[in-house]
Amino acid sequence: MLTGANFIGNTKSKLSENGFHAINAKTGENLKDIFYPAVHEEIEQAVEMASKSFFEFQQISQKDRANFLNAIADEIVNLGDDLLQRASIESALPITRFKSERERTVNQLRMFADLLKDGSWVNASIDTALPNREPIPKPDLRKIYTAVGPVVVFGASNFPLAYSTAGGDTASALAAGCPVIVKSHPAHPGTGEMVAGAILLAAQNTNMPEGVFSNLNDSGYAVGTALVTHPKIKAVGFTGSQSGGRALMDMAAKRPEPIPVYAEMGSINPILLLNDALKNRNKEIAKSYAVSLTAGVGQFCTNPGLMIGIQGEYLDKFIKSLVGNIQEVLPAKMLTSGIALAYSNGLEKVLAQKNVTLEGTSNNDGNDLPGRPLVASVRGESFITNPKLSEEIFGPFSLIVKCVDQSELDDVVEQLGGQLTASVIGEEKEVLDYEPIIRKLANKVGRLIFNGVPTGVEVCPSMNHGGMYPATSDAKFTAVGIDAIYRFVRPISYQNWPNHFLPDELKNENPLQISRRVNGKQTKAEI
Ligand code: NAP
């Protein structure tokens, strides 16, 4: 039973007089549930509670925090099919998709729980004192990562489970020891409330301090702005548009105390199509790219939005095969009416650009749903001189750039901005011919793929889901995988402290049996 309330710690609150309806993304109609945007008082309460709980939460052992994360995973599973159905209604994505997205969400939480149980992620480093060193004694120094403080998370519209209320940002911030306030995404407020309830139940069952998690509603920018500019908030996690991410970055930078905003803002994920591969595997490549391009109605930050090749017979054949596959894919509903409008405006704008040719779209004329797959092409020269062609069009769209030769291909790559991913489709031998171009590409991206598609972000320690601006706000960090935790911690050195005062991770006896760097050597040994 949904309440439409803001969850401020364990209190359900709806002080606002006006609410907004959740929307059935499949029909466009209002659902009966009304959600109440958080008012000033509720925002203050949530932040105050998060700030108070931080001190206690930060001190809680890694093992107990791991139990909390595992309990969240259990409670999400306990929500059963109701959660999947609600997410499907609010997003127009199929229930089968949410089965795997729930698994991903739960596995992410358990992955961070395992990280905490191991405990070594804190990068404990100990340099023992040399009191007799000349000319001056060396102090005892012990360094560790510690939580930064309350974190605000903006959920993503396109992953109502895995990148939203209990998604990667929330899981990594809680794992780090930071209380979290989620600004619920108005595209799936009911899904958000259900998951928020699961998190709070888990918090109570594992004796976490109240305020460690809150969930606030809004259908506009007021709540998000108040949270990001609140002096007691210490970091922000965001997944969404470049305009939204940039606005939050600017707000955070202008605060008297600037704070980091870890924004994942999507990209066009360039694909380099090399000739031998197109010659040998044309149909196979086209098929896999048609699937990648249209999966989830193209609403992935890793959607292959730009393909670059050298003009000629092989590229033409590839385009024909790709279009053949695309024509078979039915247009579909998109996540929100705003995203659908942005997609249709984006297509209109790109097709109106000089020298852009429509190569093909879905064949189904009887279906005028907005998520219509579409492929267009343009000459390399036109692409290079028109920055509008490098803008992301969020949906099942890809632009194919036809270059006259390798030198023009190099110029196209040169002027690309930062990207989450780039892919190279080629035979192993021909890759050497393109080595400088590929290395240039590597300097712009967070993940470089060989003979694969960019969609499908594996959650594992070696994954980097980041990239140079504007793909993300800070290329030093990943939003996926265990290293995502480092966004919400900072190092602290303890100098000359008595052993009993130090965090367990830094004590002489190494009670947690973690791996530490002691006087330059990695070890689990006692000191
Ligand atoms: P969005 O417009 O960037 O919004 C994401 C969240 O940030 C929402 O909660 C939104 O609040 C908030 N927000 C946006 N701009 C803000 C601002 N200036 N001040 C304060 N809060 C702000 O993303 P979206 O609604 O999910 O989708 C819109 C577009 O984002 C898509 O068309 C696509 O281009 C892009 N997108 C990218 C990704 C990705 O993976 N990087 C994922 C989804 C969407 P309200 O919604 O309450 O206004």
Instruction: Please list the pLDDT of the chain residue by residue as tens digits (527 residues).
Output: 899 999 999 999 999 999 999 999 999 999 999 999 999 999 999 999 999 999 999 999 999 999 999 999 999 999 999 999 999 999 999 999 999 999 999 999 999 999 999 999 999 999 999 999 999 999 999 999 999 999 999 999 999 999 999 999 999 999 999 999 999 999 999 999 999 999 999 999 999 999 999 999 999 999 999 999 999 999 999 999 999 999 999 999 999 999 999 999 989 999 999 999 999 999 999 999 999 999 999 999 999 999 999 999 999 999 999 999 999 999 999 999 999 999 999 999 999 999 999 999 998 776 789 999 999 999 999 999 999 999 999 999 999 999 999 999 999 999 999 999 999 999 999 999 999 999 999 999 999 999 999 999 999 999 999 999 999 999 999 999 999 999 999 999 999 999 999 999 999 999 999 999 999 999 999 99
Ligand 1 center–CA 244 separation, angstroms:
5
Q: Is 186 in the pocket of ligand 1 (CB under 6 A)?
A: yes
Active site residue 301: yes
Q: Ligand 1 atom 23: the closest Cα is on which residue?
A: 240
Rg of the chain (C-alpha set): 25
The helix (H) or strand (E) run that includes residue 491 is: strand 489-495
Identified catalytic residue from 90, 101, 210, 301:
301
- Count the neighbouring beta carbons within 10 Å of the beta carbon of residue 225: 15
Q: Is 339 in the pocket of ligand 1 (CB under 6 A)?
A: yes
**DSSP code string of 95-132:** HHHHHHHHHHHHHHHHHHHHHHHH-GGG--EEE--BTT
| CA separation for the pair 130, 116 (Å, rounded) | 32
Q: Is 302 in the pocket of ligand 1 (CB under 6 A)?
A: no
Q: Is 188 in the pocket of ligand 1 (CB under 6 A)?
A: no
Q: Ligand 1 atom 17: the closest Cα is on which residue?
A: 244
Q: Which two tokens stand for residue 373?
A: 């797959």
Q: 494 in helix, strand or coil? A: strand
- Count the neighbouring beta carbons within 10 Å of the beta carbon of residue 70: 20
Burial 80-108 (b: 16+ CB within 10 A, else e): eeebbebbbbbbbbeeebbeebbebbbeb
Q: Specify the pLDDT at position 106.
A: 98
Q: Specify the pLDDT at position 368.
A: 81
Beta bridge partners of 271: 307, 423
**198, 72 contact by CB (below 8 A):** yes
Q: Is 327 in the pocket of ligand 1 (CB under 6 A)?
A: no
Active site residue 42: no
Q: Ligand 1 atom 48: the closest Cα is on which residue?
A: 220
First-to-last alpha carbon distance for the chain, in angstroms, is: 55
pTM over 0.95: yes
Q: Is 225 in the pocket of ligand 1 (CB under 6 A)?
A: yes
Q: Which two tokens stand for residue 84?
A: 């999947």
Q: Specify the pLDDT at position 367.
A: 77
| CA separation for the pair 470, 447 (Å, rounded) | 15
Strands ordered across the beta sheet of 270-273: 357-361, 374-379, 397-403, 306-310, 270-273, 419-425, 445-450
| CA separation for the pair 84, 167 (Å, rounded) | 15
Could you tell me the CA-to-CA distances from 243 to 247, 265, 424 in Å, in that order? 6, 8, 29
Identified catalytic residue from 42, 101, 264, 505:
264
| Nearest CA-CA partner of 193 in 156, 168, 152, 164 | 164
The helix (H) or strand (E) run that includes residue 495 is: strand 489-495
Q: Is 219 in the pocket of ligand 1 (CB under 6 A)?
A: yes
| CA separation for the pair 258, 440 (Å, rounded) | 33
Strands ordered across the beta sheet of 151-154: 11-13, 6-8, 213-216, 180-183, 151-154, 235-239, 261-264
Tell me the best of 157, 347, 397 to mutate to test the pocket of ligand 1, counting ligand atoms within 8 Å of each CB and taking the most.
157
146 Cβ contact partners less than 8 Å away, ≥ 6 residues apart: 58, 177, 489, 490, 491, 492, 503
Helix crossing, 95-118 with 80-91: angle to 10°? Answer: 120
